[in-house]
């Protein structure tokens, strides 16, 4: 494998990484005394997943000069992430969050402490040293532009620059309505950003909210009309839906989900799906193979505690695919 430090990253993700404290026991967070510290953040979940599969991944963000910022930097470095674009902010703290231990695979309640965080001050200036000519792929989500106007401008800038250099771009809306001033602002901003992406990856409910369309094919057509080459809609346990022209002709199909014996933690399932899908397309696989891999990796993510602990390395992925011939 190439020297990741001597060459510029080929894949770039960006956003806010946070320290996450996960409850050891079930129950309301106010009654929990013991927590485990982990790493959280949708964008860096994807970065870690792609790095584990052997891609040279760069991460752009801001962290504080506090212990949580150092924890995040060490955790990302341990995963092989290239942190040359990770900036230290001496004026603002690192964001953190608390997550409850949910019962029976339910979505856990989460409390965020991120207002005024270092990452919320991300701006176009933070991209000044990026070598866009080396990029083959950029992954963006709808979380970063919700942090602040300057972070939104950075998102738009990165997507425009990556496209100008010929890199492929994936965009996961990853809605966080509480971070937006209004639903209309969220919808208008994210739909405009989606027009800069090649692969748009909404969940079904997200796509319905953003496009005001009900069916997967109508949601996909709304983004194809905006310039996307492919739209992949996550359907939860039912699998995923594809509509696009990555093979040179318009295709539409649904790939069934992978059965899971026990759902432990639903957070990170969509990020796992993105890791599987993006890695497969970058590996040169077909759209159907990419959706199969996305479903397979997403299924691994929900079977462990933590947002990215279940994401496989390349050897584990090969074993999983060997045991699931359809994938």
Write out the catalytic residue numbers: 271
Q: Rounded to an integer, what distance in angstroms lies between the CA atom of residue 208 and that of residue 320? A: 32
243: alpha, beta or left? (left if phi > 0; alpha if psi -120 to 50)? beta
Q: Rounded to an integer, what distance in angstroms lies between the CA atom of residue 161 and that of residue 133? A: 9
Q: Rounded to an integer, what distance in angstroms lies between the CA atom of residue 189 and that of residue 191? A: 6
First to last CA, the chain: 26
Closest to 268 (Cα-Cα) out of 232, 304, 237 = 304
Contact 69, 88 (CB under 8 A): yes
Listed in sequence order, the residues at least 6 apart from 87 whose beta carbon sits closer than 8 Å to its beta carbon are 61, 62, 63, 126
Residue with tokens 């982990």: 38
Q: Torsion angle, CA of 183/185/187/193, rounded to 10 degrees?
A: -150
The CA angle 95-41-167, to the nearest 5 degrees, is: 125
Q: Rounded to an integer, what distance in angstroms lies between the CA atom of residue 231 and that of residue 146? A: 22
Q: Rounded to an integer, what distance in angstroms lies between the CA atom of residue 202 and that of residue 193? A: 13
173-205 per-residue burial string, b: 16 or more CB within 10 A, e: under 16: bbbeeebbeeeeebbebbbebbebbbbbbbbbe
Neighbouring-strand partners of residue 241: 233, 254
């Amino acid at each position: 494998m190439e020297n990741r430090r001597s060459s510029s990253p080929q894949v770039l993700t960006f956003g806010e990484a946070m320290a996450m404290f996960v409850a050891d026991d079930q129950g309301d967070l106010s009654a929990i005394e013991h927590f485990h510290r982990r790493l959280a953040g949708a964008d860096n979940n994807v970065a870690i997943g792609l790095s584990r599969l052997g891609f040279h991944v760069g991460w752009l963000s801001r962290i504080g000069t506090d212990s949580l910022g150092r924890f995040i930097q060490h955790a990302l470095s341990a995963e092989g992430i290239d942190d040359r674009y990770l900036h230290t902010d001496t004026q603002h703290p690192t964001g953190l969050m608390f997550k409850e231990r949910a019962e029976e695979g339910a979505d856990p309640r989460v409390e965020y402490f991120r207002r005024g965080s270092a990452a919320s001050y991300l701006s176009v200036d933070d991209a000044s040293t990026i070598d866009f000519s080396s990029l083959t792929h950029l992954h963006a989500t709808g979380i970063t532009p919700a942090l602040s106007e300057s972070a939104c401008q950075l998102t738009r800038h990165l997507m425009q620059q990556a496209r100008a250099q010929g890199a492929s771009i994936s965009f996961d809306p990853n809605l966080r309505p509480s971070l937006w001033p209004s639903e209309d602002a969220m919808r208008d901003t994210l739909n405009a950003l989606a027009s800069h992406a090649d692969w748009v990856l909404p969940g079904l409910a997200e796509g319905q909210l953003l496009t005001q369309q009900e069916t997967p094919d109508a949601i996909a057509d709304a983004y194809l009309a905006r310039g996307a080459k492919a739209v992949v809609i996550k359907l939860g346990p039912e699998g995923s839906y594809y509509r696009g022209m990555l093979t040179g002709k318009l295709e539409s199909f649904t790939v069934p989900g992978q059965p899971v014996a026990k759902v432990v933690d639903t957070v990170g399932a969509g990020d796992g799906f993105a890791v599987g899908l993006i890695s497969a397309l970058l590996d040169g696989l077909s759209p159907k193979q990419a959706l199969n891999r996305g479903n397979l990796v997403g299924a691994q993510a929900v079977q462990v505690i933590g947002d990215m602990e279940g994401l496989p390395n390349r050897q584990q992925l090969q074993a999983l695919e060997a045991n699931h011939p359809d994938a």
